[in-house]
């Protein structure tokens, strides 16, 4: 029997009378890399945000490990510590150095000692190729460098899951690869990842599974080969005709 790490059961999210997620059910195994693809406004960000409670699901259940996020009284801060998130627009602290950006949450949220947090941060910055930028401020960095800092910052909390919401969409084309390469290495470490992306080549190469959302409905939930070569739905075929 398989024992999925993340379970999503009949997830609904509405804003007022706008139904954005209309009953999403799927599972994600430990170490799986999921690409979430779909037209603008289809609910991709909302879906991702329900996985770390940046949005509160309207109904349905989400489990990560043995924790039910949708249970009453769930410790939202604890969930967010375990589920790192990387945004399209980086969201770095502008008045903190790169090193301070990476050490801030471990020190203030987890109570890690400063010198220990700094050592870990230096190692993480090394792993994203930025150890020489530790003392810079974000406004001195390129977009690709900012996004790699944001990834290091999320990893500093030692999460079990990483969520990425269009991490390369705000980057100049020449910087996309350096960020995708960092994500690819992270995938190879066995990190469980859910990535909203328009990078079809990356999804094809790195994802274990593609979730195709359209109008708040999970239309396809299949391996990338199947999604890109032989999608079963007309909606996916129409979408791929436009983007490929
Ligand atoms: P995607 O990421 O696929 O582009 P989103 O999840 O951002 O889609 O949005 C899906 C729909 O939900 C859109 O119609 C959007 O306007 C709406 N929406 C998203 N967030 C909110 C919110 N906080 N309040 C009201 N409507 C929202
Ligand atoms: Mg979005």
Say what the pLDDT of residue 244 is. 85
Which residue has a Cα nearest atom 5 of ligand 1? Answer: 43
Tens-digit pLDDT profile for residues 186-211: 999 999 999 999 999 999 999 999 99
Give, in order, the Cα–Cα distances in Å from 154 to each of 35, 98, 105, 149, 188.
19, 13, 9, 9, 17
Say what the pLDDT of residue 117 is. 98
Q: Is the CB of 40 under 6 A from ligand 1?
A: yes
Say what the pLDDT of residue 96 is. 98
Closest by CA to 26, choosing from 49, 71, 60, is 60
**Which of 20, 35, 36, 55 has the most ligand 1 atoms within 8 A of CB, as the residue to mutate?**
20
Say what the pLDDT of residue 16 is. 97
> Cα separation of 197 and 169, whole Å?
8
Say what the pLDDT of residue 48 is. 98
Residue 196 Cα to ligand 2 midpoint, Å, equals: 8
Handedness of CA 151, 157, 161, 165 (dihedral sign): negative
Q: What is the ipTM of this complex?
A: 0.99
Q: What kind and span of H or E run contains 218?
A: strand 217-222
Q: Flag whether the pTM goes above 0.90.
A: yes
Give the residue carrying structure tokens 């990834």: 151
Q: Which atom in ligand 1 lies closest to the alpha carbon of residue 166? A: 2
> Cα separation of 160 and 118, whole Å?
21
Q: Which ligand is nearest to the CA of 49?
A: 1
Say what the pLDDT of residue 182 is. 98
> Cα separation of 242 and 244, whole Å?
6
- Under 8 Å between Cβ of 212 and 220: yes
**Which of 38, 46, 167, 196 has the most ligand 1 atoms within 8 A of CB, as the residue to mutate?**
46
> Cα separation of 207 and 187, whole Å?
9
Give, in order, the Cα–Cα distances in Å from 104 to each of 48, 89, 93, 117.
24, 19, 10, 9
pLDDT in tens, the chain (244 residues): 568 999 999 999 999 999 999 999 999 999 999 999 999 999 999 999 999 999 999 999 999 999 999 999 999 999 999 999 999 999 999 999 999 999 999 999 999 999 999 999 999 999 999 999 999 999 999 999 999 999 999 999 999 999 999 999 999 999 999 999 999 999 999 999 999 999 999 999 999 999 999 999 999 999 999 999 999 999 999 999 999 8
Residue 53 Cα to ligand 1 midpoint, Å, equals: 15
Handedness of CA 81, 140, 145, 97 (dihedral sign): negative
Q: Is the CB of 147 under 6 A from ligand 1?
A: no
Q: Is the CB of 197 under 6 A from ligand 1?
A: no
> Cα separation of 55 and 225, whole Å?
31
């Amino acid at each position: 029997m398989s024992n999925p790490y993340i379970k999503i059961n009949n997830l609904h999210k509405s804003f007022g009378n706008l139904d954005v997620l209309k009953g999403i059910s799927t599972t994600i195994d430990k170490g799986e890399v999921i690409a979430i693809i779909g037209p603008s406004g289809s609910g991709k960000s909302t879906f991702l945000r329900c996985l770390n409670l940046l949005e509160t699901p309207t109904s349905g259940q989400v489990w990560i490990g043995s924790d039910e996020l949708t249970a009453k009284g769930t410790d939202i801060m604890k969930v967010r510590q375990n589920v790192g998130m990387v945004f399209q627009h980086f969201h770095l602290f502008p008045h903190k150095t790169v090193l301070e950006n990476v050490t801030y949450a471990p020190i203030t949220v987890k109570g890690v000692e400063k010198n220990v947090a700094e050592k870990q941060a230096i190692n993480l910055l090394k792993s994203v190729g930025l150890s020489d930028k530790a003392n810079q401020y974000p406004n001195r960095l390129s977009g690709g460098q900012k996004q790699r800092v944001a990834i290091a910052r999320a990893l500093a909390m030692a999460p079990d899951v990483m969520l990425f919401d269009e991490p390369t969409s705000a980057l100049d084309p020449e910087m996309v690869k350096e960020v995708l390469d960092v994500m690819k290495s992270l995938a190879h470490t066995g990190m469980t990842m859910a990535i909203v992306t328009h990078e079809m080549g990356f999804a094809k190469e790195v994802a274990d599974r593609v979730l195709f959302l359209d109008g708040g409905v999970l239309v396809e939930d299949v391996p990338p080969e199947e999604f890109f070569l032989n999608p079963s739905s007309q909606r996916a075929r129409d979408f791929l005709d436009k983007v490929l």
